[in-house]
Structure formats: C-alpha cells, structure tokens
Structure 1
Amino acid sequence: MNKHLAAALAVAATAVLATTGYLTHQYVTSPAAPREAIARHAPESAREVAGSADDVFHGTVVRHAGRRTIAEIPSELYEVRVGRVFKGGVSGTVTLTQPVGNPRLAVGGKYVFATASWHNESDEHAVLAKARPTPAADLGAPVRGVGGGSAPTVAEYWQDAVDRQIVAARG
C-alpha cells in the first residue's frame, strides 16, 4: 500500500471516530427536558381556564385526604363535595389533587375549581396547572374588579367564562 493511500485512510478513520465521539458526547450529556406541568391557558383568563378544563364547578372541601405522587407530581389530595357545576359532569364528592407547594385548601372552604380528570379508576381530578381554585364562599357575591358599573356575581362570571370559553390550540 502506498503512503498516500495509507494517509488518506488514516484521515478518514480519524474523521469517522471524531464525529462518532462528538455525537455520542452530545447525546449522553444533553440535559433532559424538565418535567413540569404545562399550562395551555393564561391562568388569569377565566375563559381560557374554562376552555382547558374538563370540569368547572363550585364545591366545598370536605377533608384533606393526604399526599400521593401521581404521574411523578407530588400532590395533596382533597375530598370535595360538588355544588353547582358550570362545565362537565362531576357530581357527589370527588377526590381532587393539587401539586404540593400550592396554597393549601381550607377544610370547609368553598371554591370554584377548574379541573382535568386523571382518567383513573379512582375518578380523581386535578386542579389545572397554574389555575388556583378561586375562593367563593357565596356564588351570589359580586366579583371585584370586573365589569364597568355592575359587577357580575361569582356564578355569572364563571357561567360566562364557560359559555364564552377559549380553547387553546394544542401543539
């Protein structure tokens, strides 16, 4: 074999090894995508929250039912007695989850919940990502900071949000 052919083969082998090594390094050392809940709605927009939710309802927290990790998310569990339903088919008492670290729900407290079903055998529901339950002791109370002259009631506000919900594009 002549010197030029041997040199060309050595250069080619070096290039293949260098490229393979570089690509392997990039694959092995690339950071994993962070695992977090992604909100497909603006949490400050009741219409977008309603559009992303399976269920929107007013309910009373019956009890704190403990903690559990669901889909790799440490969660607080609550039993909630469903009152008025604005969207969805929930009824009776449901188990609701919310990520650990969110403000705890008060036992006996009344809230408007926007939830998504876990679609599991326990029929659990999760508070939507970044959409905190809205304290609502009285559905007939006016919503502060909404409307010009006459503020809607809590019930009117959430019914309007459901009636005119905005469904975010899923991409």
Structure 2
Amino acid sequence: MTLKRKTVLIATGAALAVAVGIGGTVVYQEVNERNEAATTSHASLTYEADFSDDANLAGAAEDLFYGKVTALKGQKDLGIGPESQYAVEVQRVFKGDVTGVVVVNQQGGKDENGDIVNLPEGDALLEVGKRYLFATKYNPDLRFNTVIPVFGDMPIPHTEAAAPGLPDANGDGKPTMSDRWTAAVQNQNDLSTAPPDEEPTEEPAEDPTPEPSPTNGS
C-alpha cells in the first residue's frame, strides 16, 4: 500500500497520541475554518497513511473494537483546543486488550457558546447511546484511548450488521461488519516505518568551458 507523505506541522495533545508510531514521525496539520454564520469549526488533518483503507486503519490502531458510548465524561484542552472524553462499554475486540468500560478521548468539543469547535473535517462528535467501531491509540500517561480522527470512530448499528460486497472472514456466506474488521486485522499494513523518501539523482557538475590560451603578440 502506498503511503501518502506530506510536509505538515508537529502538534501536541491528542494529535500527538494518535500520530506517534505512524511512519515513525508525528504528522498533523491543523487549519481552523470558521465564518460568522457557522456553528461548527473544523480542523483539516493530513497523515502519512490513508486511513480510509481498512488495512491501514487496523495497522495504525493499537486497539480496534466495537463499543457503546455510555456517558460524556467532560472536556479537556491538551494544547490544541477542546477534546471530549467518553465512557465506552467494550462489546467486541478485534485487536488489542481493552475490556470493560474504557475512557475514549476524541479531538473536538464545544466552546462557551455551545458551538462545536476543533473537530476534524469529516468527523462528528460521539453520541451517548450509540455504537461505534473504534480505532484508537492508548495514552499511558493520561490513561485513555484516543480515536484516530474521522475513520477511527465509525457508527455501526450492531456488530453483525450486513456488509454486502465486503470480505466474509468466517466463510458463512454472510459478510458482516465483524467480518470486515476481522479481515482488516488479518491483512493490516505495518505502519511502524514509512518508506524512505527517494533521494534526488545528482547530476554531474558540468566542466567549465576552458578559456582560450593566450597568444604571443607580434
């Protein structure tokens, strides 16, 4: 799988927790866009890998699991704007060792006016009572799982929801969302190192044009 490589900014907070270990570098770009009529401010993110690819997402995640959001625990600002924290009941694990109820941290939150801010473009804040496929990286210092934005918090109706056209991991002829993520882990891409940048070919220096030899005057 070809990784997308872009020059971006280095960040802290949840973005750092998400990006560390992906391609060996921290890659994050934040562009806040807002106009007076808007109630949501988005951040634009770029990464070394295309996380719309299931194999990339599974490879980047330390924990990949289904869970139900049971409560909003609050907000924190870890240096890049508000981040929301939720209690999530783990219901099925595809990768990792999460169990019981875990704290899931998501970039984005609400300001003093109740407007949604700092939310990655294409993402949505988690909703209490709904179930999601979570792809996360664990922050051992703060003891929470941070979702990979946009693709790491995918709403699903239930673990055995039909997934026509996707891999049938258990071979029963009825591919489901569980089959999809079982196959994603089986075929996950190793994103621990990124392919090196191609070195530019150096052209040999041109020989200077020799100056004409002086001639003796008559």
> Where do 5+ consecutive residues of structure 2 fail to align?
1-8, 12-27, 30-45, 109-118, 197-218
> Where do 5+ consecutive residues of structure 1 fail to align?
1-32
Correspondence for 2:188: 165
1:36-59 CA-partner distances (Å, limit 9, x unpaired):
365343121111000000000000
Q: Which has the larger radius of gyration?
A: 1
For 1:129 and 1:41, the matched residues in 2 are separated by 13
Distance apart, 1:63 and its partner CA: 0.7
Correspondence for 2:130: 109
For 2:85 and 2:49, the matched residues in 1 are separated by 23
Pick aligned residue for 1:125 from 134, 145, 149? 145
- Number of residues of Structure 1 aligned to a counterpart in Structure 2: 138
Q: Taking every aligned residue pair, what percent have the same amino acid on both sides? A: 28
| Partners of 2:165 and 2:175 within 8 A in 1 | no
CA pair 164-83 structure 1, distance change in 2 beyond 3 A: same
Shift >4 Å, 4+ stretches: none
For 1:74 and 1:47, the matched residues in 2 are separated by 30
* TM-score, structure 1 normalization: 0.71
For 1:97 and 1:117, the matched residues in 2 are separated by 10
Distance apart, 1:164 and its partner CA: 0.8
Q: RMSD in angstroms over aligned alpha carbons? A: 2.4
Q: Secondary structure at the match of 1:41?
A: coil
Distance apart, 1:133 and its partner CA: 1.0
For 1:151 and 1:52, the matched residues in 2 are separated by 27
1:21-44 CA-partner distances (Å, limit 9, x unpaired):
xxxxxxxxxxxx463365343121
CA pair 55-147 structure 1, distance change in 2 beyond 3 A: closer
For 1:129 and 1:108, the matched residues in 2 are separated by 20
CA pair 144-78 structure 1, distance change in 2 beyond 3 A: farther
